[in-house]
């Protein structure tokens, strides 16, 4: 797991978490999971998110031997879905969650 911090002129303007996952599917292919992608609201649509996500696919994924980059996005985040689709990501699966009862 890696937490990346995006800085601009010394200010934190974004974050994302990367998790390299070895797999059994797809002939043992390694996947790079992207989570917690955040860009400061005042800087959205400035190209920071696109640059970071291009870096993930072009630099980070090959560096860990990943053959696929994957992420999930809340079903209600339609703007985020358009953003990822513009970058070439394809909505291919339906996700499920289970909330563990707290004792």
Is residue 64 a part of any domain in this protein?
yes
Through-space distance between the first and last CA atoms of the chain, rounded to whole angstroms: 28
Tens-place pLDDT, residues 20-62? 999 887 777 899 999 999 999 999 889 999 999 999 999 999 9
The predicted model scores a pTM of 0.86
Is residue 67 a part of any domain in this protein?
yes
CATH number at residue 19: 3.40.630.30
Is residue 97 a part of any domain in this protein?
no
- Quote the number of domains for the chain: 1
3-12, 26-35, 59-68, 82-91: least confidently modelled range: 26-35
Q: Secondary structure of 17-49 in the HEC alphabet?
A: EEEEECCCHHHHCEEEEEEEEEECHHHCCCCHH
* Structural domain for 53, as ranges: 2-87
């Amino acid at each position: 797991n890696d937490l990346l911090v995006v800085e601009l002129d010394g200010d934190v303007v974004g974050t994302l978490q990367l998790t390299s996952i070895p797999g059994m599917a797809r002939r043992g292919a390694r996947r790079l999971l992207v989570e917690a992608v955040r860009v400061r609201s005042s800087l959205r649509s400035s190209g920071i998110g696109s640059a970071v996500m291009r870096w993930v696919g072009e630099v980070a994924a090959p560096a860990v031997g990943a053959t696929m980059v994957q992420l999930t996005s809340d079903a209600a985040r339609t703007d985020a879905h358009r953003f990822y689709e513009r970058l070439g990501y394809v909505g291919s699966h339906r996700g499920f969650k289970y909330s563990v009862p707290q004792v």
